[in-house]
Structure 1
Amino acid sequence: EMDKIIIIIIMIIDLLDLDPVPQTPVFDMGTDTRTEGDAVTLTVTPVGLQERRGSNVSLTLDMCTPGCTEPYGYGAQLSPRDQSAQEYLRQGTHVLTPAMLHKRAMDDQALQAEFYETPMNFVDPKEYNYPGLVRKNRYKTILPNTHSRVILKSQDEDDFLTTYINANYLKGYGGQECSYIATQGPTVNTVGDFWRMVWQERSPIIVMITNLEEKNEKCAEYWPEDTVTHEGIEITVVTVTQEDDYSLRVFTLKFGDEERSLRQYWYTSWPDQKTPDKAPPLLELVKEVERAREEAPPSSGPIIVHCSAGIGRTGCFIATSILCKQLRTEGVVDILRTTCQLRLDRGGMIQTCEQYQFVHHVLSLFEKQLSHTAEE
């Protein structure tokens, strides 16, 4: 009964929303500089339509989401608010030609309006009502969207905890399934699960975009100095190379009779709470990782990308990779479309307005490099 009353009240508020929506909403500009991670720190000051479009404000308002574990299909009903957020994310698009891209990258106001209009699509924590799960999540409000979560194979399929990892499959360029896995920085409790995932998914590459500590712990050091065994998987460091903006570790993984190679790119020049001053290092990393993917065995699985929460910097990296391919292939980019697609599969991808602007800057730089090469 209570749920019905709340729905009716929300609908009445919707109908009575007489405030004209300002063209350029007024935002609490303090939001972008807060620490990445806990969605509690991510709330924006709601303006007009924004909170109804599925920003995380809707998590606190929307008490009518059924506690279902499969929100797509299986007879689950989405509340009107969740439905409009889903529709927006499925349809959002803004194709940019090179000239439009360069202009747009400089238009902070337009990018702010677009960013705050786009639903975050965070998971309602009620969808994960399992005892003991708290120990498996770094941030209690950043959870994997259920339909695309990575499910760990387990001896006991009925024991939800043994199948759970805070990670989602993400589509790549052209909607290619399972191109990437976005996940949280492993915690002391989840290092074993992380390596189970690396092996299960046949991942050839890990991209790590966080320091181990930035004011507080952002990620556990999940790899060894030389060798270690987790969950029966023997992990050995073969080489460590220090580049300007990242270090590259090459590992050998052994499980049973099988042996595989794995590369970890640890990108350290992304300061906490800010986007990098320089787009070039991130762009170089994106190119380097794509080259490594092309050289990996054909049987390889998704590239695993993580920061601390697995949505902010992780979202920037994956979006940039996809969009560089789009620009090379089609000569245009659709940054909004890519952001929407990523958020359908993992809520909160590209976490702050600053990061959204930064992705535009990186793509603008990449386009200039492309056209410069073409002229030569």
Structure 2
Amino acid sequence: MKVAQVQQSIREYAVSIGIDKIGFTSAAPFLELKNRLRRQQELGYQSGFEESDIEKRTEPSLLLDRAESIIAIAVAYPSKMQDSPKGKKGERRGIFCRASWGTDYHIVLREKLQLLETYIAKLVPDAKMRSMVDTGELADRAVAERAGLGWSAKNCSIITPEFGSYVYLGEMITNIPFQPDTPMEDQCGDCTLCMDACPTGALIQGGQLNAQRCIAFLTQSKKPIPEEFRAKIGNRVYGCDTCQTVCPKNKGMYNLHQEAFKPEGELAKPLLVPMLTLSNRQFKETYGHMSGSWRGKNPIQRNAILAIAHFKDEAAVPALIELLVTDPRPVIRGTIVWALGEIGCSTGIEAIKDAIQNEVDEEVLNEMQNVLDTK
């Protein structure tokens, strides 16, 4: 079978297994990206979650011997929740970002890429392939852009005409010399809505992100969240969608067709107080199938405390005080102290005065003193 026929067969098969978009590009080095990544490193804008070796991120030939092409795929995820549960006084809710709704996308996309690999191996028995999703060395967005899936937008997402930026990306390096697709023209124009709306000013300029200021990154960090960002977290327990929800290109992009990503309302918008006392096992059993669980319960519980402070939920104060006294984690205790200060009720302040007598962690003591100095 000729390469062009193989390529067309792959396109058709991809549709049949639920891949929403597929594109092809060469395995040539990503030279422009290499320069951008070096600049990001110099500025200290990286999150620390990405592959640190810039050569591996930009040189496909280092990842697969005799690499010729890269197949890029996109699978859409929903932007809208049907029958969304509503929070109310005394029963406040947090929210996981849309990219954590339903089944962990790493699992879903890896399954689809594995099916694709098996199919290609039948067509081309001597084909070599290496697939990756998100946590692989290659920069998904750069591959998708060059393969014509969409354009690289100012909000640091790939925007597709069919699904907006609500798409998961994956890729497969192969030794088959496929015909490259044509990259798309940038369609952001003069629009800066995403940059203007970013709660922390993390979008430095179009397409450049300071991950250290990005709420999506901050909610995944295991350290105490710097005070300047705490009130900006809102009720987000994982991730942030602001730069996507304000994008005009995402208007009307609901993408409800992928069953695996349809959210369960009680999990995507969970009650906050019950989250605070989940054990590791309970957290894994409840949220373990979601991509937002990958950092474990500690960051999620810390974020839930910040969300309670956001709502100034006095009904949650007894639960916070109980944890302040009993929880062994300094990050949790310190965050509770700040939250009690924000809520501002006398019961919470008195609890801090009592707890300071037995506190031994220096950072928690500093949080306590800061609150007591202002009350």
Structure showing the higher helix proportion among its residues: 2
Larger radius of gyration: 2
TM-score by length of 2: 0.26
The answer to which structure has the higher strand fraction is 1
* TM-score scaled by length of structure 1: 0.26
